[in-house]
């Protein structure tokens, strides 16, 4: 049985006090998680330690960073190494978010290095993939996503792949209010799983957690999560509102 995850990506939002309030409201909601279900909270770097501390007594709640460096250590001013994240108890790291790819020119090759750093540090990558609108319009989204997987993940061996979570985030659906339909999400998730099966075998593919991200909210989460290949969500805007985030978690 593969893990189901609802992850909240706060992006570059909230003060420390607001973040603390949000986490306190989420834990106070008393979410009941079943075996194999996880909640992941991804605050900005300066709040990771605090969020870890606030959630440490809640089994099933984990903490993620939103990025890490592609190098291990050294003269890289402003960067944060995976080993540093590990040393403060971070569990996951979001890598390859479309905003990192677009605004910080992160390439598939650079992301492969970040994936390696995270895995070497014992942190599980949540690897984001997904196509821009023009690719979707041209109906070439499968080839686009397949290339992202090949160039950033397919150098891994089967044992390493077990520590990867994939998040499919169609760029045209992020922060736009446009959600992929449940059918569009299911089709891409099934395609991603088939790509993994082809490379790593059926068992590896069946064990892989694949999240959907892009304007997920309480009203559409139940339908998205009901799709057989959708194993949860990576939530942006709605993760900043405790009531919305907990409602999405409850529709697991
Ligand atoms: O980018 C996302 C999560 O990483 C999705 O953002 P929204 O839920 O705000 O569309």
- State how far the Cα of 39 lies from the Cα of 245, in Å rounded to an integer: 10
Residue numbers belonging to the annotated binding site for substrate: 9-11, 175, 215, 236-237
Residue 166 per-residue DSSP state: E
Give residues (CB < 6 A) around ligand 1: 9, 97, 169, 174-175, 213-216, 234-238
Contact (CB, 8 A) for 125 and 115: yes
Which residue shows structure tokens 């189901």? 4
Point out the catalytic residue in the list 99, 131, 169, 189: 169
Q: Which residues, listed in sequence order, are joined to residue 37 by a DSSP beta bridge? A: 4
- Quickly list H helices, the chain: 16-28, 48-55, 82-87, 98-103, 108-121, 133-137, 141-152, 158-161, 182-200, 202-207, 221-225, 242-250
pLDDT value, residue 175: 83
Q: pTM for this structure?
A: 0.98
Identify the H or E element spanning 235: strand 232-235
Residue keyed to tokens 């709040």: 47
- Nearest C-alpha to atom 2 of ligand 1 is from which residue? 236
User: Ligand 1: which of 43, 64, 215, 233 to mutate, judged by most atoms within 8 Å of the beta carbon?
Assistant: 215
What whole-number distance in Å separates Cα of residue 185 and Cα of residue 216?
A: 11
The verdict on whether 169 is a catalytic residue reads yes
Q: Give the per-residue pLDDT at 153.
A: 98
Place of tokens 């499919």: 168
User: Is there a catalytic annotation at residue 189?
Assistant: no
Ranges of residues in the chain whose predicted pLDDT is under 70: none
Question: What phi and psi, each to the nearest 5 degrees, are found at residue 191?
Answer: -65, -45
Two tokens, residue 155: 């150098």
Give nearest CA residue, ligand 1 atom 6.
236
Please report where in the chains the tokens 């992020």 appear, as a residue: 174
What the chain holds in terms of domains, given with CATH numbers, is: 9-216+228-250 (3.20.20.70)
By most ligand atoms within 8 Å of CB, the mutation choice from 131, 175, 185, 224 for ligand 1 is: 175
pLDDT of the residue at 178: 81
Closest-CA residue, ligand 1 atom 7, reads 236
pLDDT at 252: 83
Catalytic residue among 97, 106, 131, 189: 97
Q: What is the pLDDT of residue 74?
A: 98
Phi/psi at 247 (5° precision):
-65, -40
């Amino acid at each position: 049985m593969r893990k189901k995850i609802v992850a909240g990506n706060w992006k570059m939002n909230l003060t420390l006090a607001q973040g603390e309030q949000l986490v306190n409201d989420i834990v106070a909601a008393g979410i009941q998680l079943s075996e194999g279900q996880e909640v992941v909270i991804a605050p900005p770097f300066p709040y990771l330690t605090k969020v870890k501390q606030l959630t440490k007594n809640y089994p099933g709640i984990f903490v993620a960073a939103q990025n890490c460096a592609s190098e291990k250590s050294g003269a890289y001013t402003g960067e944060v190494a995976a080993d540093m994240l590990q040393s403060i108890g971070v569990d996951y790291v979001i890598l390859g978010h479309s905003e990192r790819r677009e605004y910080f020119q992160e390439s598939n090759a650079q992301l492969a290095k970040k994936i390696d750093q995270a895995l070497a540090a014992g942190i599980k990558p949540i690897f984001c993939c997904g196509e821009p609108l023009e690719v979707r319009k041209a109906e070439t989204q499968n080839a686009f996503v397949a290339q992202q997987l090949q160039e950033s993940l397919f150098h891994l061996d089967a044992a390493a792949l077990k520590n990867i979570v994939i998040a499919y985030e169609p760029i045209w659906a992020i922060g736009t209010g446009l959600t992929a339909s449940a059918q569009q999400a299911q089709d891409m998730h099934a395609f991603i799983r088939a790509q993994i099966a082809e490379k790593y075998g059926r068992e590896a593919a069946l064990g892989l957690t694949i999240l959907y991200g892009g304007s997920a909210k309480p009203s559409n989460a139940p339908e998205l999560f009901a799709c057989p290949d959708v194993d949860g969500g990576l939530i942006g805007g709605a993760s900043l509102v405790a009531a919305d985030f907990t409602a999405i978690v409850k529709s697991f």
